[in-house]
Structure formats: C-alpha cells, structure tokens
Amino acid sequence: MSLAVDIGWGTTLGIKTLVVMGLIPVGALVLGYTFLLKMMSHMQSRLGPMDPGGFHGWYQLIGDGLKFIQKEDIIPAGADKRVFKLAPAIVVLSTFLMFVVLPGGPDFVVAKNLDVGVFYALAVSSLSVIGVLMAGWASSNKYALLGSLRAAAQLIAYELPLVLAVIGAVVQAGTMNLQGIVRFQADGAIFGWDGLGHPLILTQFVGFALFMVAAQAELSQPPFDMPVAESELVAGYMVEYTGFRFLFFFIGEFGTAFVYAGLAATLFLGGWSLPFVDADDNIMNFLGPGVLFAKIMLVAFLMFWARFTYPRLREDQLQALAWKWLIPIALVNILATGALKVAF
C-alpha cells in the first residue's frame, strides 16, 4: 500500500483502524439487511420490513442498532462482571483482525499485505472462541454455559477442515499471500487458455465446498447453529446480553460472515480481479472493491440460502460430520492437488 503523501506511521495506523472499524458494521448491516431481513422474508412468502426509511425498510437495521445503544446495560447479579463485559469485544476483535489482510485491488489491501495472509486470517478467526467461552462462563446461566461449551467444541472441530480446505488453493497458487493468490488467479491459465484467468473454484471445487461448510459452522449459522439453538437454549451464550453488548455480538456475527465470504471470494473466485481486464491496469484499483463486494454478496447468498433452508444438526452429528467426512475429504483433496501439481 502506498499513499501519495508521506504521513507518519501513527496517522496511517489510525486511518487504517478507522477504515476497518467502519467496514465491520457496514458489512454487517449490508448482509443483515439484504439477507436476514429481505431475502429470508421473500423466501418465506412475506415482505419483511417495508416502512422504515421509506424504501423497502432500508433503515430498519440502523434503527435497531440505535435502539440497542439506548437500552439498559444489564449485568446479571451472579456474573463475573469484567469477563462478562469483555467477551463481546473479543468476538468483534477477531472479526476486526480478519479484515486486515483482505485485498481490495492491485495496489492495496485493507490494512496490511502479509506474506502469511491466509494463515493469519484463519488463526485470528479462532480468537472468537475465547470470547464465546468467556461470555458463556461469565453469564452464570446454565443455558449460556451449555451454549458456549457447544460453541467451543464446534469451533475447534471445524477449524481443522477450514484450514485443510484452504491448503489446496495455497498449494496451487504457491503462496500464502492473499494478494499473491488473487494474482495467480488473475494471471493464470487453465490448460493454456487464459481468457478467464484461473479462478480456483474451477480446480478446487472440493476445497470451495469444504470451505463453505466449515465457514458456516465457524459462523454457527444453521445447519450448525447448535450453540445458539433458539428453540432449546433460548439464545445460547448470548442469553444474558442486552443493549449494545448484544449489538456487538450481532455485528460480530454478520461482520464475520462478511469476512468469511470475502475470504472465500478471494481464495476461490478471483477476489477483486475481473476476467478480460488486465490485473495491473490502474482502473482495477477503482473497480476492485466493487468487484470484490459483488463476489462477497454472491458467496454470502449461498451461505444464507443454506441458513434459511436447513434444520440444525445435533452436536454429535455435527462432530461426526467434521471428523468422519470433512477432514478425510480435505486430506484426500490436498493429496490429489499435490500429486496433480507435480504431474502438470
């Protein structure tokens, strides 16, 4: 990332922090409004919010957010107060850190172009487990405790297929740098034909499918929403949270969905690059974020489609799916990718 004027590192850091901090709620709002409010409603033969803001209820979520901020901040009497207060912040922090490495164009990344970008993003994503465990334990509520333990077991189990699913893409691109992976897809060729570039979804479709399933589980969205199962645990680890702390969880949930969709788009769909447009063209610096956003919405659509369609798996079935199916398939995928990479 190169800015035209040379400003001090402190200012740069400040600006970058503000950009990421702005991106999280905006991403959460966009996904929340488009999919949770509108797409779900239309799938369920209803309209969803129509009045707030005048046009198809676009203001609904913003209004909800403002309402949450005004609400009383209730902390249960038996709660471990400090841990209870800190937990939502840690969940959002993990989302925040994941945003850092997302590339938006040929010359810029959201905040920092790391050489181990994929590794970093997946590593910081597991931070949220700590937040969830803290929330469940500190709430001093049995439902919250059950929910957070389920969440911990689930997030740890699905971390593995998530990482293994990505390795195929990394092996093909030969780099862990997210920008490098996008470049590989933009400049690559499939069997000598370079019209489309080489979006990794064409060769890594198994990896893509595994990534989507594991990401869905990491987000604890249906069919993997055992930790917040509203029909049995009421709201799982969030049950005691009110007001802006609950808002933090909400933003964390949808913000993380946004980042995971961004990672999937970057790793498998070519990120900010467009077919038939030279990746080094300066115009991609302006088009790039828009292209990436469109791809994020496409991936998010798939995620939310599953979310609104499937019932949830039981905890043991969920673990069985991860250990008996996803991980072996991911390992075979890595082996096959490696073998083919050497062969061709």
Partner 1 sequence: MTATEPRAPGFEVDPSLYRHLADAQVNVEIDTGDMVLNLGPQHPATHGTLRLVVRLDGERVVASDVIIGYMHRGYEKLSEFRTYPQITTLINRIDWLSSFANEVPFVHAAEQLMGVEAPPRAQYIRTVLTELSRIATFLLFLGEMGLQVGAITPAFYGFRDREYVLNAIEAATGGRFHPNFNRIGGLKDDLPWGWAAETREAMRKILKSCDDFEDLVVANPIFQQRTRSIGIIPAELGASYGVSGSNLRASGVDWDLRRDGKPYLAYDAIDWKVWTHPDGDSFARYWVRLQETRESARMVLQLIDAMPSGPIMAKVPRIIKVPEGEAWVNTENPLGEMGYYVVSKGATGPFRVKIRTASLSNVSIAPWLLRGAYVPDVITILASLYFILGDIDK
Interface with partner 1 by CB under 8 A: which residues?
Answer: 40, 43-46, 140, 142-143, 145-146, 222-223, 225-226, 229-234, 308-317
Q: Using CA atoms, how far apart are residues 95 and 128, in angstroms rounded to an integer?
A: 8
Nearer to partner 1, 236 or 270 (CB): 236
Nearer to partner 1, 73 or 230 (CB): 230
Q: Residue 219 CB, nearest distance to partner 1 (Å)?
A: 15
In terms of C-beta density within 10 A (0-12 exposed, 13-18 middle, 19 or more buried), how is residue 220 classed? buried
Q: Residue 237 CB, nearest distance to partner 1 (Å)?
A: 14
Nearer to partner 1, 82 or 142 (CB): 142
Asked if residue 184 lies in contact with residue 173, where contact means CB atoms within 8 angstroms, the answer is yes
Q: Residue 314 CB, nearest distance to partner 1 (Å)?
A: 5
How many Cα atoms are found within 13 Å in the side-chain-facing hemisphere of 240? 28
108: enclosing H helix or E strand:
strand 108-109
Q: Using CA atoms, how far apart are residues 8 and 5, in angstroms rounded to an integer?
A: 10
Structure tokens at 330: 């991911």
Beta pairing, strands 108-109 & 103-105: antiparallel
Nearer to partner 1, 136 or 288 (CB): 136
Nearer to partner 1, 11 or 317 (CB): 317
Nearer to partner 1, 33 or 224 (CB): 224
Q: Residue 335 CB, nearest distance to partner 1 (Å)?
A: 27
Q: Using CA atoms, how far apart are residues 89 and 95, in angstroms rounded to an integer?
A: 10
Percent helix, strand, coil in the chain, to 5, is 70, 0, 30
Estimate to the nearest angstrom the gap between the alpha carbon of 264 and the chain centroid.
8
Nearer to partner 1, 196 or 234 (CB): 234
Q: Residue 224 CB, nearest distance to partner 1 (Å)?
A: 10
Closest residue by Cα to residue 255 from 94, 90, 110? 94
Q: Residue 213 CB, nearest distance to partner 1 (Å)?
A: 12
Structure tokens at 92: 């959002």
Q: Residue 166 CB, nearest distance to partner 1 (Å)?
A: 25
Structure tokens at 291: 């292209």
